[in-house]
Amino acid sequence: MSQLVSRRTLGFNASPLHRQVEPHAFHYLAQRTSFWVAVLSLLAFVTGNMIGQHGWQVFWKSVLGRDNDSLIVYTGTVTPVALVPDYVRWYRYGGNPQEHTFREVPQDLLIPLPTYSSSLGDETTRVIYSVSYMGSYASGFENSGSHPAVDIRVPTGTPVRSIASGIVSEVKDATGFGKTVVIRHPNVPDPSNPARTTELYSNYAHLSVAFVNPGDIIEKGEQIALSGQTGDTTGPHLHFQIDRSDAPWHPYWPFTTEELRAAGYSTTQAIDRGFHSDRGTSFTVNPLLYVQADYAPVMTVVDESATVHSAASSSVASQTWLARIQARVAERRSERAVRLAEAVAVRLAQRQATVGAPAASSASSSSQGLTTSELPISAGEVVQRREVVVSREDTLPPASGTPVISVSISHDGTYSERNWERVRITLLDAKNNVVTSPMLDRDIVLRASYGSADFQPDTLSVLDFHDGRVEVGVLPHGRRTLVIQAIPFNVQSQPMKYTK
């Protein structure tokens, strides 16, 4: 039997014709398109979330365990409510905050929130601010009790806004307060010393709906909720309160249930008797006086010599940026005021022209008019036409037309969901005839006496009618039967019922 001999003994060496190399991990992954699609998708997701409104805030909170306050820039304060009803006038039209919502208040009866003061002198202010800061339920006046907030009487559904930029701390259903939103405001002027910064918490209670969540970054003036009547209340209002950062809880209340039981007081009795009012003044601030002060931002000055120039440049840039913002705000307010004045002037001119048309024509032929011949004309100018520009009469001629005694409201009797319906309003005289040349000295306000609806427009003047008639749009809410009322005539329509 032959013996096997190794190839190395005979001088032969074996090697493969095609060397097999194990691929590297990246070489393997480079062959997989799905892998890179997944990587790019992940990078896009992370980048988008970091660039978004809350991305960096969530990142720093996960790393440092709290919110990044450097993202919150104090730019001043605004009131928690922009518009409120003029209750004195609204009551005359049959308005009632216990029955009607904010959307049912006619637009021309809404006024800016009046300036809050400790005296609450005029009737409108006393009606709107039902309980003052550290006041009592009995009188409502300031420093007459231990109520640590200001109660603002507003109808349910009134838009509530954040008084300053901040971070939503809590959104909860608190005992007594009902649905509540708490916002933390870092690095804001200290009301005790506006040259220093502090941290405050604004509280909005008895809400019907909240539009924010804990952790949301809120800008000054951003709508956060709608007012309501949740919790322990006797009527719809906004409980507005500002706590200091060292308050043990938010919204802060100056006494606990155990302390009430020990003292033998009810909540109303404790507030009226000023129970632990010293705690209220220690842990809270007068909320409306603070927002009305609208303190300027506090500029931080760095004392190190190496950074004095940089700090000064940053401070000047911040002041310039803030000045630009304030200038733009002032410019917009001025433009709005000019547009409002022009619109009022045009409407008054149209109304005077409609009411006094015969007199205007006679005045145009009168020699008492001011003509272009009476205007100074410089050399070289040529008068193309002479005409009456304005009459010198100081008083308007007597109004002409037929007095409007009543109105009629007509519709097809039904409505469908989320559709605008047409409703016709007709002016009537004492014999129920249509008034084609009306003499109407007041506006007609439309509202829902039963049910709820939007009207477009909700206020009608004599200029809106053509031959004594006008059609308005009505958008019913929900599926309740709707009855329309025209004020001040107190005329009601036939019921408008929902149909599928």
In sequence order, which residues have a C-beta less than 8 Å from that of residue 389 and are 6 or more positions away? 369, 370, 371, 372
For residue 170, is pLDDT > 90? yes
Residue from 499, 438, 445, 436 nearest 472 by CA:
445
Q: What is the pLDDT of residue 498?
A: 86
Q: Indicate the pLDDT class of residue 307, thresholds 50, 70 and 90.
A: very low
Q: What is the pLDDT of residue 304?
A: 46
For residue 133, is pLDDT > 70? yes
The residue with greater pLDDT, 227 or 333, is 227
The residue with greater pLDDT, 42 or 71, is 42
For residue 175, is pLDDT > 50? yes
Note the pTM of the prediction, 2 decimals.
Answer: 0.52
Q: Where are the beta strands (DSSP E) in 138-256?
A: 150-152, 159-161, 166-174, 178-190, 193-210, 217-218, 223-227, 238-244
404-435 burial, b at 16+ Cβ within 10 Å, e below that, comes to beebbbebeeebeeeeebebebbbbbeeeeeb
Q: How many CB atoms lie within 10 A of CB 228?
A: 25
**Token pair of 151, please?**
């109660």
Residue from 455, 485, 447, 489 nearest 472 by CA:
455
The residue with greater pLDDT, 451 or 288, is 288
Q: What is the pLDDT of residue 458?
A: 84
For residue 355, is pLDDT > 70? no
Q: What is the pLDDT of residue 30?
A: 64
Residues 269 and 253: their CA atoms lie apart, in Å, by 15
Q: Indicate the pLDDT class of residue 332, thresholds 50, 70 and 90.
A: low
Helix (H) or strand (E) segment spanning residue 309: helix 308-355
Q: What is the pLDDT of residue 202?
A: 97
| Amino acid letter, residue 357 | A
Q: What is the pLDDT of residue 193?
A: 92
Q: Indicate the pLDDT class of residue 29, thresholds 50, 70 and 90.
A: low
Q: What is the pLDDT of residue 432?
A: 87
Q: Region 412-441: what's the mean pLDDT? A: 86
Q: What is the pLDDT of residue 322?
A: 57
CATH value of 83-293 in 2.70.70.10, 3.30.310.10, 3.40.50.740, 3.10.20.30: 2.70.70.10
Residues 300 and 175: their CA atoms lie apart, in Å, by 40
Q: Region 102-120: what's the mean pLDDT? A: 88
Question: What share of the chain has pLDDT > 70, as a percent?
Answer: 70
Query: Among the ranges 180-189, 256-265, 322-331, which has the highest mean pLDDT value?
Result: 180-189
Q: What is the pLDDT of residue 172?
A: 93
The residue with greater pLDDT, 279 or 388, is 279
Q: What is the pLDDT of residue 166?
A: 94
Q: What is the pLDDT of residue 155?
A: 94
Q: Region 116-139: what's the mean pLDDT? A: 81
pLDDT tens across 71-94, in order?
A: 788 999 999 999 999 988 888 888
Query: What's the mean per-residue pLDDT of the chain?
Result: 78
Query: Among the ranges 15-24, 315-324, 483-492, which has the highest mean pLDDT value?
Result: 483-492
Q: Are 150 and 290 in contact (CB under 8 A)?
A: no
Q: What is the pLDDT of residue 320?
A: 59
Q: What is the pLDDT of residue 401?
A: 74
Q: What are phi and psi of 259, to 5 degrees?
A: -70, -35
Q: What is the pLDDT of residue 43?
A: 85
pLDDT tens across 151-169, in order?
A: 999 999 999 999 999 999 9
Q: What is the pLDDT of residue 210?
A: 92
Q: Indicate the pLDDT class of residue 1, thresholds 50, 70 and 90.
A: low
The residue with greater pLDDT, 482 or 332, is 482
CB-count exposure of residue 318 (10 Å: 0-12, 13-18, 19+): middle
Lowest average pLDDT, out of 191-205, 270-284, 306-320, goes to: 306-320
Q: Are 166 and 212 in contact (CB under 8 A)?
A: no
Q: Indicate the pLDDT class of residue 386, thresholds 50, 70 and 90.
A: very low
Q: What is the pLDDT of residue 439?
A: 81
CATH of domain 402-498: 2.60.40.10
Q: What is the pLDDT of residue 325?
A: 58
The structural domains of the chain, with segments of one domain joined by +, span 83-293, 402-498
